[in-house]
Amino acid sequence: MTANPSLVLNKIDDITFETYDAPEITEPTDVLVEVKKTGICGSDIHYYAHGKIGNFVLTKPMVLGHESSGVVTKIGKGVTSLKVGDKVAIEPGIPSRFSDAYKSGHYNLCPHMCFAATPNSTEGEPNPPGTLCKYFKSPEDFLVKLPEHVSLEMGALVEPLSVGVHASKLASVRFGDFVAVFGAGPVGLLAAAVAKTFGAKGVIVIDIFDNKLQMAKDIGAATHIFNSKTGGDAAALIKAFDGHEPTVVLECTGAEPCINQGVAILAQGGRFVQVGNAPAPVKFPITEFATKELTLFGSFRYGFNDYKTSVDIMDTNYQNGKEKAPIDFEQLITHRFKFDDAIKAYDLVRAGSGAVKCIIDGPE
């Protein structure tokens, strides 16, 4: 058997390096990927620090990682769209092919989703493997080939970028929209970049940290920024947006004050997408929401074609070279680590020491 070095979360505060047997091709459509780049997600840190997110509770060891790209090393006999040596982005959630959610075109809502590095509640069954390992097996149709202009590092950003794509698709963001994005973390910054790419006339990013807001401007994702801690109330926010009431709000924090302010600034008939997860139930301004005839969308991960759209965004962005790219996605990567230093990477991100997106190399 081929060795498969992996980074494993055993329990709260306990990450170790382990070596398992590499997965093998068992189905005609299976593809084996040698993982090259993996981003650290906030959910990874939540499991590391708290052992759970909502109903997903860590009760047994779990290989970490789900924001990954790599190179195809082996394919099943039925694979037609990929070949050995192709660079790919790995979509890490595989639904049941028999669920109503899958059949209705909403596979991200499948109750039997097998999602990398997300605890499995079934008694006696192992957790779905994460992607922070040397070899990861995936069905062919959950891998997206990376074109020439998209690096493996950018391929690792496709997963969080797809969250932003899904949110903008739900809100039908289009040319001429004015979009407000609450939260300048990785998802908020990428959601803003998507909204701008989709044709929004203006994109304002709201946060309480000036350095994060400056990054939103620096990477080209925001046309306007607003510090909600020092800048004032909803009226001040609209004034900072050159007087425009947003037609779309993408709420990426889950914080009650941001949700309430999002409703307050939305134009009548506007669209509100809740992307961020709240740690507990929140008070919601339902009367204002109703009298404005707003539309509320929940947003969970990503669905059909969102990964391909994200790769297309990356490809279009970089086809004229890095120096001419409209969005500087590379600036989001603030820290890089070798696989052997992966635990240090997790501790750095957990400490909140200024990392935006941390990328870990695959095992040598």
Q: Per-residue pLDDT for the chain (364 aa), expressed as one digit of tens each?
A: 899 999 999 999 999 999 999 999 999 999 999 999 999 999 999 999 999 988 899 999 999 999 999 999 999 999 999 999 999 999 999 999 999 999 999 999 999 999 999 998 666 678 889 999 999 999 999 999 999 999 999 999 999 999 999 999 999 999 999 999 999 999 999 999 999 999 999 999 999 999 999 999 999 999 999 999 999 999 999 999 999 999 999 999 999 999 999 999 999 999 999 999 988 899 999 999 999 999 999 999 999 999 999 999 999 999 999 899 999 999 999 999 999 999 999 999 999 878 999 999 999 8
- Two tokens, residue 256: 């009650």
Confirm whether 160 is domain-assigned: no
Cβ atoms of residues 335 and 326 within 8 Å: no
Query: For residues 144 and 150, what is the distance between their CA atoms, to the nearest angstrom?
Result: 12
**Number of domains present in the structure of the chain:** 2
Whether 25 and 114 share a structural domain: yes
pLDDT for 55 equals 85
Whether 182 and 136 share a structural domain: no
Whether 213 and 141 share a structural domain: no
Query: For residues 332 and 350, what is the distance between their CA atoms, to the nearest angstrom?
Result: 17
pLDDT for 354 equals 86
Cβ atoms of residues 190 and 161 within 8 Å: yes
Nearest Cα residue to 241 out of 218, 219, 267: 267
pLDDT for 330 equals 96
Confirm whether 242 is domain-assigned: yes
Query: For residues 273 and 257, what is the distance between their CA atoms, to the nearest angstrom?
Result: 15
Confirm whether 308 is domain-assigned: no
pLDDT for 296 equals 98
Query: For residues 4 and 34, what is the distance between their CA atoms, to the nearest angstrom?
Result: 10
Whether 198 and 238 share a structural domain: yes
pLDDT for 181 equals 98
Which residues are 298's β-sheet partners? Answer: 274
Whether 232 and 347 share a structural domain: no
CATH code of 20's domain: 3.90.180.10
pLDDT for 256 equals 97
Whether 52 and 129 share a structural domain: yes
Whether 138 and 214 share a structural domain: no
pLDDT for 311 equals 98
CATH code of 210's domain: 3.40.50.720
pLDDT for 298 equals 98
At 208, the amino acid letter reads I
- Two tokens, residue 265: 């600034």
Whether 29 and 71 share a structural domain: yes
Q: What residues make up the domain containing 118?
A: 3-149+319-361
pLDDT for 272 equals 98
Whether 122 and 10 share a structural domain: yes
Whether 233 and 342 share a structural domain: no
pLDDT for 261 equals 98
